[in-house]
Chains A and B, each alone.
Chain A
Amino acid sequence: MDFDFTPEDEAFRAEVRKFLKQHLPKKHTPEAIAEWQKQVRAKGWVGFSWPKEVGGGGGTIAQQVILKEEMSKARAPSLGTCFMGLAWVGPSIIEYGTPEQKKKFIPDILDGKYQWCTGYSEPGSGSDLATLKTRAVRDGDDYVINGQKIWTSIAMWSKWIILLVRTEAGESKHEGITCVLVPMDSPGITVRPIKNMAGGAMFAEVFFDNVRVPVANRLGPEGQGWKVTVSALAHERSSIAEVAGLQRSLEELKALAKKSKKNGKPAAADPGVRRRLARADARIEAMRLNGLRFLTKQLKGENVGAETSVNKLHRAALEIELGELALEIEGGAGVLDGAAAPEHGKWQRMALSWPEVVIGGGTPNIQRNIIAERILGLPKDP
């Protein structure tokens, strides 16, 4: 066992730290963030895991971890602004796109010219995504799309949507699903924002009424859409960034406990509070170490797949637990909101926004199925 990175990797870490010293914005004003984005783009740190040929950074797995770790520790702004483009639309296009598609989309994603949104879930197809019903029917050189998507994050601010549609009859699960890239200003698209329980509207319903898209906008072969959306691009899966975020939240929560009284007594002296904080601490550390085990496998060139569900489950539980514990520490005042609440409602926001993490990207029960079926080898549900 050896927790040291190679001298080359450590040199890279030094470079990142030096850059942060010089360029990390003191205040997150729009101008400062714009300047930051320009600088990190010039460094090749936007799309850092992508190959250099397409304009990415060509970062090795170890370098990706180091970059994320240092950025997270410094609480730096994001690397790039086209969030879903960078997270999965880009990787899918890099792997399955035509030369024209790569040329058209990849530079814009790296430059953050506009947002992408993701049209996977439907009213009748959530966790069981493969039953989706939105249809695309071939008409000459076009597909004509009819149907509805839901829980589409930032649909109202996006210029493009990556869409899964059914191109063959029947509902034979994965087969017959195709991936298409659709401009959000296409005639026939209606976006209706959905207000979430925290009071914000980050996601929306998207309706498709005879929307025409050129066949040239198809990503990958017809009927292979399921495969296309699961990119095999080698990006690091150590969850280092998520761990850093949780570590920060835990430290802030300990600070809250130290200055709060619960039922008239110091909250930080309450055995129940202490145990729950320690319990969260142990689980965050377990996530960190699990992540290092995944990283070790990746550095050896092995695949890391279903086991990442372990950390997803931890993260889901922790996002909920930390928000809950914060409100319990705040006691009666925990029910207040906004400026009236302790720390300007920071913990109320956490306690009401965990579904973004916990439900988006696969619910905990889906993660349990993944572990049970792919790791423990238990049979699938009928």
Chain B
Amino acid sequence: MNFGFTEEQELLRSEVRKLLDESCPLEQVRKITEDPNGPGFSRELWQKIAELGWLGLTIPEAHGGAGLGWVDLVVVLEETGRSLFPSPLVSSTLAAHAIRRFGSPRQQAAWLPALADGSAIGTVALLEEDGAPGPEGVRLAGRAAGKSLTLTGEKTLVGDAASADLIVVAFRKGKSKDLGLAVVERGAAGLATKDLPGIDLTKRLGRVSLDGVKIGRDAVLAKADAAAISHLFDVGALAVTAEGVGAAEAALALTAGYAKHRVQFGRPIATFQAVKHPLAEAYVDVQSFQSLVYYAAWCVDHGHKDLPLAVSRAKAYASEALPKLGIDTIQLHGGIGYTWEYDAHLYLKRAKWLRPAFGDADWHYERVARLGGL
């Protein structure tokens, strides 16, 4: 029985934290993300984290990765979340996960090495206009024409759409219930991506339009179906929630630190229970959805049937708790928390970004109810 991390995982955590603290403190995060003409991340740091193996963490060694699991990945994501590190890491990891899990050996060999070494950026395009975070929302049409497939439709709120080289697109075969995943490469005729400005500058979202994009059959992931799309939503929810844990811990540390030093009425405001109790409650919440995240990651690594339930519990909890913490972070700071200059709002914005990503609290609680027999 060990519901904790190994020494190697703790070492990985401290390495990730050290690099991010040194190379990408919040000052740097702002510089990267506030540049109106920039891609929203640093190419230089992207190359650096590729060299350190973060991009290929869960990619098999045969394809240039480290062959580790989601528990290891969660360690990295907690830290990138803590630093609000702006990068397509989550998007690219999800694309790699889809190709590894649902692609044929040939497809894996074709795309995974470039995702592992960072020469290609990947993303998954799942969500459409109606917003249903599951296979039921997939309408984008895939029509067979001889040996090729024509994709027509639009995906929205796609992570890092504008910088992606490989887009894993969920589609529906004709009017059937059959769903699939196709890998569309940047530059394909009929493919257009558009950056959508967002509240959280550390997370880039975009629209992906496919107007009769023709792909070969070998670009359709061999083992992908509706369950695969559902699974991608699950691991997507897990990844962003893991980052949410780190962001929450950082917001809590920032606010607790401020409350210890800010003096009003002749004493540090942290001595007031009106201040310390919301912080204690936030601690309870963060610890708790962190535990739920760890278990969900373990479920991915062990192919455990609990995964959908485990993910929904974690994402629902976090989607409720993190925005609340974001608001408390601002309120407990008072006026300074409302300024652009002070960092509090960065966490509030991440919380708002996280809330609907891969299903909001309503959606996930409803699934918990359904899976629990209601």
Give residues in A with beta carbon < 8 Å to B: 1-5, 62, 254, 257-258, 268, 271, 274-275, 277-279, 281-283, 285-287, 289-290, 292-293, 295-297, 299-300, 307, 310, 313-314, 365, 367-369, 371-373, 375-382
Instruction: Decide: A2 and B1 in contact? CB cutoff 8 A.
Output: yes
Q: Is the interface of A mostly helix, strand, loop or mixed?
A: helix
Instruction: Decide: A378 and B316 in contact? CB cutoff 8 A.
Output: no
Q: Is B369 interfacial (CB-CB < 8 Å)?
A: yes
Instruction: Decide: B260 and A274 in contact? CB cutoff 8 A.
Output: no
Closest 9 CB pairs of A and B: A289-B291, A286-B288, A278-B368, A372-B276, A278-B365, A368-B280, A371-B280, A292-B3, A282-B313
Give min CB distance, B258 to chain A, whole Å.
11
Asked whether A275 and B369 contact (CB < 8 A) given A281-B313, A310-B288, the answer is yes
Instruction: Decide: B366 and A275 in contact? CB cutoff 8 A.
Output: yes
Instruction: Decide: B291 and A278 in contact? CB cutoff 8 A.
Output: no
A369–B270 CA distance with the chains assembled, in angstroms: 11
Instruction: Decide: B4 and A293 in contact? CB cutoff 8 A.
Output: yes
Residues in A with CB closer than 8 Å to B280 are 367-369, 371-372, 376
A250–B225 CA distance with the chains assembled, in angstroms: 34
Q: Is B336 interfacial (CB-CB < 8 Å)?
A: no
Residues in A with CB closer than 8 Å to B317 are 282-283, 286
Per-residue contact bits, chain B 289-310, to A (CB 8 Å; 1 contact, 0 not): 1011011001000000000001
Give min CB distance, B264 to chain A, whole Å.
13
Give min CB distance, A69 to chain B, whole Å.
12
A310–B286 CA distance with the chains assembled, in angstroms: 10
Instruction: Decide: B287 and A310 in contact? CB cutoff 8 A.
Output: yes
Asked whether A278 and B366 contact (CB < 8 A) given A4-B1, A254-B374, A310-B287, the answer is yes
A2–B2 CA distance with the chains assembled, in angstroms: 5
Give min CB distance, A318 to chain B, whole Å.
12
A5–B276 CA distance with the chains assembled, in angstroms: 38
Per-residue contact bits, chain B 185-213, to A (CB 8 Å; 1 contact, 0 not): 00000000000000000000000000000
A376–B280 CA distance with the chains assembled, in angstroms: 8
Instruction: Decide: B373 and A282 in contact? CB cutoff 8 A.
Output: no
A368–B270 CA distance with the chains assembled, in angstroms: 13
Asked whether A278 and B372 contact (CB < 8 A) given A1-B294, A314-B288, A378-B256, the answer is yes
Instruction: Decide: A293 and B365 in contact? CB cutoff 8 A.
Output: no
Residues in B with CB closer than 8 Å to A271 are 366
Residues in A with CB closer than 8 Å to B373 are 254
Asked whether A62 and B276 contact (CB < 8 A) given A278-B365, A310-B284, A314-B288, the answer is no
Chain A, Cβ-Cβ closest to B9: A1
Give residues in B with beta carbon < 8 Å to A: 1-5, 71, 252, 256, 259-260, 267-268, 270-271, 273, 276-277, 279-281, 283-284, 287-289, 291-292, 294-295, 298, 310, 313-314, 316-317, 320, 362, 365-366, 368-369, 372-374
A279–B365 CA distance with the chains assembled, in angstroms: 7
Q: How many A-B residue pairs have CB under 8 A?
A: 148
Asked whether A1 and B362 contact (CB < 8 A) given A285-B313, A378-B270, the answer is no
Instruction: Decide: A376 and B3 in contact? CB cutoff 8 A.
Output: no
Give min CB distance, A305 to chain B, whole Å.
14
A sample of 6 inter-chain contacts (CB < 8 A) reads: A258-B374, A278-B369, A372-B276, A376-B276, A379-B260, A382-B271
Instruction: Decide: A296 and B2 in contact? CB cutoff 8 A.
Output: yes
Asked whether A372 and B277 contact (CB < 8 A) given A1-B5, A379-B268, A382-B271, the answer is yes
Instruction: Decide: A379 and B369 in contact? CB cutoff 8 A.
Output: no
**Residue of A277, A281, A314, A377 with most chain B CB atoms under a 10 A cut-off:** A281
Instruction: Decide: B260 and A377 in contact? CB cutoff 8 A.
Output: yes
A313–B279 CA distance with the chains assembled, in angstroms: 13
Instruction: Decide: B374 and A268 in contact? CB cutoff 8 A.
Output: yes
Partner of B369, one of A274, A293, A373: A274
A314–B288 CA distance with the chains assembled, in angstroms: 9
Give min CB distance, B285 to chain A, whole Å.
9
Asked whether A371 and B283 contact (CB < 8 A) given A281-B313, A365-B277, A381-B273, the answer is yes
Residues in A with CB closer than 8 Å to B276 are 368-369, 372-373, 376, 378
Give min CB distance, A369 to chain B, whole Å.
7
Chain B, Cβ-Cβ closest to A4: B1
A371–B283 CA distance with the chains assembled, in angstroms: 8
Instruction: Decide: A1 and B365 in contact? CB cutoff 8 A.
Output: no
Residues in B with CB closer than 8 Å to A285 are 292, 295, 310, 313
Residues in B with CB closer than 8 Å to A314 are 284, 288
Partner of A277, one of B281, B294, B374: B374
A375–B276 CA distance with the chains assembled, in angstroms: 11
A281–B281 CA distance with the chains assembled, in angstroms: 18
**Residue of A254, A287, A289, A297 with most chain B CB atoms under a 10 A cut-off:** A289
Residues in B with CB closer than 8 Å to A258 are 374
